[in-house]
């Protein structure tokens, strides 16, 4: 218990020292009115800040994230093969893959995967 407290205190002191040193040694520049302006990049501030956003792009991004998370759920199934019996492992894996393929088929039939 004491060693954990000591390690936490030492870590906090080191992190604080690094933050203070970074603040002191950081490159300081002279700020002028142009640099502090939010429109330094050349856009006209009189136009609307809201630009049209492609809903198709958003849907493709969400579908990608969903399937990416599902792949991260599939990876531990391989390592759990040695820990469970083969029947429960294969049943769980096949049900999960069937649900994934069903979702993919639904997205495909709704033409959500086509860009045009």
3-state secondary structure 2-70: HHHHHHHHHHHHHHHHHHHHHHHHCCCCCCCHHHHCCCCCCCCCCCCCCCCCCHHHHHHHHHHHHHHHH
> 26 pLDDT exceeds 70?
yes
Enter the pTM of the model. Answer: 0.47
Q: What is the mean pLDDT of residues 58-65?
A: 83
Q: How confident is the model at residue 80 (pLDDT cuts 50, 70, 90)?
A: confident
* CA 54 vs CA 49, 107, 116: distances in Å: 16, 18, 11
Number of domains in the chain: 1
Q: What is the mean pLDDT of residues 64-70?
A: 84
116 in a structural domain: no
86 in a structural domain: yes
- Structure tokens belonging to residue 4: 């954990």
**Containing structural domain, residue 22:** 2-109
């Amino acid at each position: 218990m004491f060693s954990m407290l000591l390690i936490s205190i030492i870590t906090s002191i080191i992190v604080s020292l690094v933050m203070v040193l970074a603040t002191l040694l950081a490159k300081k520049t002279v700020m002028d009115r142009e640099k502090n302006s939010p429109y330094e990049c050349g856009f006209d501030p009189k136009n609307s800040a809201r630009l049209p956003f492609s809903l198709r792009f958003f849907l493709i991004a969400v579908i990608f994230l969903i399937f990416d998370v599902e792949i991260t759920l599939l990876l531990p199934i391989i390592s759990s093969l040695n820990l469970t019996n083969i029947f429960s492992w294969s049943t769980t894996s096949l049900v999960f893959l069937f649900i994934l393929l069903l979702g993919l088929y639904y997205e495909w039939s709704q033409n959500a995967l086509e860009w045009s």
